[in-house]
Structure 1
Amino acid sequence: MSGPVSFEALDAWLDANAEALDVDASRASEVLPQLVRSRAVAAGVPEALGGAGGSIADAIDTVAGVAQRSLTAAFVLWGHRTFIEYVLQSENEALRTRWLAPLLAGEIAGATGLSNAMKYLSDIEPLQMHATRSGNAFALNGSLPWITNLRREGFIAAAAFDHDDGSPPSIFAIPHDAPGVERSDDLDLIALRASNTAALRVNGTVLDDTYRLAANAPVWLARVRPAFLGLQCGMSIGLARRALLATLEASEASRGSIHEEIHELEATLANQSSQLKQGVLDGTFFNAPATMFELRIALVDTVTQAVSLEVQATGGRGYLRGQSGGARRVREASFIPIVTPSLVQLKSQLARHRRAAAA
């Protein structure tokens, strides 16, 4: 599939189905095909490789645009597009040749199982997956409790593994049909239920180097972290933007007293969005990751304020089922502080960074 990104049909579908995607896990199979049909998954992927062109900033904008209508769909898009980014940034040409086209076509779902690895990179927790040399391949063991876009129709998930021979940890792409790969039932989430979120276990799964995204995980993770977090922050931007739009749709009588707060927060959000894309593009977040952690934390606060303003502006109508998407956005917003790296983890990491800088 080729051609530019086209959101008209996707936007209409998301508007019609956002509530169902939030609460009904049985709708999970429908999300990725819609994202693929619109070419949302191809934003920021070079045209020469089958993508829609543009930069990672375009991909961030795309995630934000989807999140304005459905955080469930944006969560799926983040997982899939981030895995595509891993493939693009991998030095494994054979892996890219084999998997990029099926990912862009939605024939396989990409799942970013690197939350544990990103926490490892920030000294928050040890790796939970282990690799042992087995001839010319590796026997993989371990489990990850929470991965999104583990599509039952077929997925490939990234995970970081430490090695028993003292070599640096590495990143493998784990296909759903490899022996020893087990997907749990869907996690019983309070929202985002159609996101194909489940636990993943590998029991003696043997994969060779053609499945290795990166041989030196710490170096590679530092390089891909700005895209990982940048695309993730797109979810916050879109959700906050939609909540603020909802306040402006309320009557003047309802929003008059908070009019100034609404416009101040709109300006803050626009500035944060600009900072995010610029920092990913110009290397700021690679060279000074703490600045990106600070922005991610600030966006959590922006989302919280935006949803609170929507609740205030819509009043009792927002508390009635089917009258607005406000209740759903409150549930969605409760997820933003806990998506890995969580708000608590980021604050802890920043505190360590400041102590180290002061020493």
Structure 2
Amino acid sequence: MTSVRLHTLPADLAAWLDAHAEAIDAHSRGDNHASEIVPRLARAGLFRVGVAAALGGAGGTTVDAIEAIAAVARHSLASAFVFWGQRTFIEYLLQSDNDALRARWLPALLSGEHAGATGLSNAMKYLCAIEPLQMRATPLDAGATRFALDGALPWITNLRPEGFVVAAAFDRHDGAPPALFAVPHDAPGVTRSDDLDLIALRGSNTAALTLAHTELDASWLIAADTPAFLARARPAFLGLQCGMSIGLARRALESVDASSPAVRAALADDAAALRAELDTLTARLYEGVASGAFVAQPAAQFEVRIGLADVVAAAARLDVQAAGGRGYLRAQGAAQTTNATSMTNDTARRSREAAFVPIVTPTLVQLKNQLAQHRRSEAA
């Protein structure tokens, strides 16, 4: 089995996340906490986890990066969502054959000077034959060294207004496979919408992106063959995403453990069963990512992702049960806020966060459809 050490956040970062998790989740105009997430995660060295030292990283593996995301998700799922977007874009650069693109962008992404976003939800659904690509690349010369990029993506996280680069897949109509480009925010024709009006995770800089005849040359290619590249990158994409579920489930179960003796006794069996299931699924995830087995067996990773979402939902319900009626009380101003009120506010936030897990692309419905198709194919 893969051996992994739980990641411990620096005390100052953990304290900042705890203090501002509610504000980040319910982010409103004028609140600057969202803009601080990437720089603070970077100062803690989190984007360097799982990146080779020779490339400016801290060493370790993708599994270590998953654990780092889980550590952040224990405190704030919105911040972990941002972390996932940044670290996944970094992963694309690590797996790209475009050495020059990696050398140009990796240092600024690792240091948090620039934001990286993964606009590949549409591409992952395309890879699973769920929907066509929504972006198109038109070669502008015979050698296909320059392209005009057009299309729209309705939902991308970590599009920091201060500047970003986003990975997006583009269909080509010249017989070549779909191409994967890194698109900078300041390229002509790139338009970012206002932040989406989410019910939670509002500080994640999630917005829509439109490209209108954006011209880029081949130096911006992450991969010339998107399906082949994503088949290799998907285990890391989904694995890093699962870190959010792992951390949130752990924190919800810790909240149950911190409740009164009577409540702990009443919920002990359920909590123990969920903790055992969480540990089993986490071990399966780490083994499959570390060994590379999920490249050839994507269905096995889909099952883990679905299982983790189920554990998160059940853990959040236990969290609510442990909080009891206090979980329905709002803080009535700082002067009236007590530790108990703060704890139950966290419970309410975790319930909203848990409700988000099933709809992160690929959604549970999409994964279950893929599993059903896989089982039909096996039966045939």
Range class of TM-score, shorter chain: over 0.9
Q: 2:22 maps to which residue?
A: 19
- 2:9 and 2:71 in contact (8 A); partners too: no
Q: Provide structure 1 residue ranges, at least 5 long, that are not aligned to the other structure.
A: none
Letter in 2 for 1:97: A
Equivalent in the alignment of 2:374: 353
Instruction: Look up the match of 1:45.
Output: 51
Q: Report runs of 4+ in structure 1 exceeding 4 Å deviation.
A: none
Following the alignment from structure 1 to structure 2, what is the Cα–Cα distance between the partners of residues 241 and 91? 37
**Structure 2 unmatched ranges of 5 or more:** 1-6, 332-340
Q: Secondary structure at the match of 1:337?
A: helix
Measure, in 2, the Cα distance between the counterparts of 1:182 and 1:356: 42
Q: Is the 8 A contact 1:5 1:40 kept in 2?
A: no
Tell me the equivalent position of 2:224. 215
Query: Does residue 321 in structure 1 map to residue 326 in structure 2?
Result: no
- Give the match for residue 92 of structure 1: 98
Q: With the length of structure 1 as denominator, give the TM-score of the two structures.
A: 0.97
Equivalent position amino acid for 1:66 in 2: V
**What is the Cα deviation at residue 220 of structure 1?**
0.3
Return the offset for 1:321.
2.4
8 A contact 2:8–2:71 mirrored in 1: no
1:166 deviates by 1.1
Give the share of equivalent positions with the same residue, in percent.
60
- 271-280 or 189-198: which moved more? 271-280
- Aligned residue among 352, 357, 369 for 1:336: 357
Query: How far apart, in 1, do the equivalents of 2:182 and 2:122 lie?
Result: 15
Matched with 2:135 is 129
Query: SS where residue 210 of structure 2 aligns?
Result: strand
Q: Distance in 2 between matches of 1:321 and 1:81?
A: 34
Determine the C-alpha separation between the residues in 2 that align with 1:318 and 1:239.
Answer: 17
Distance 1:40 1:228 in 2: 17
Residue pair 1:5, 1:43 contacting (<8 A) in 2 also: no
* CA distance in 2: counterparts of 1:345 and 1:252, whole angstroms: 41
CA–CA distance in 2 between the matches of 1:154 and 1:320? 39
Counterparts of 2:73 and 2:173 in 1: how far apart (Å)?
41
Secondary structure at 2:312 match in 1 = helix
Q: Tell me the CA shift for residue 6 of structure 1.
A: 5.5
Q: Distance in 2 between matches of 1:104 and 1:283?
A: 24
Q: Is 1:225 paired with 2:246? A: no
Corresponding residue for residue 294 of structure 1 = 303
The equivalent residue for 2:60 is: 54
1:191 and 2:194 equivalent?
no
Decide whether the 8 Å contact of 1:254 with 1:315 is kept in 2. no
* 1:161 equivalent among 170, 175, 193: 170
Task: Output the amino acid matched with 1:356.
Answer: S
Tell me the secondary structure at the aligned position of residue 181 of structure 2: strand
Report the equivalent of 2:338: none
* Counterpart AA for 2:191: E
The one-letter amino acid paired with 2:363 is S
Q: What's 1:31 paired with? A: 37
1:181 correspondence with 2:190: yes
Q: CA deviation digits over 1:180-232, x for unaligned, max 9?
A: 00000000000001000000011000111110000001100000000000000
The CA distance in 2 between the partners of 1:250 and 1:108, in whole Å, is: 41
- TM-score, length-normalised on structure 2? 0.92
- Given that 2:51 and 2:57 are in contact with CA atoms closer than 8 Å, whether structure 1 keeps it comes out as yes
Q: Distance in 2 between matches of 1:97 and 1:127?
A: 28
CA RMSD of the aligned region, Å? 1.2
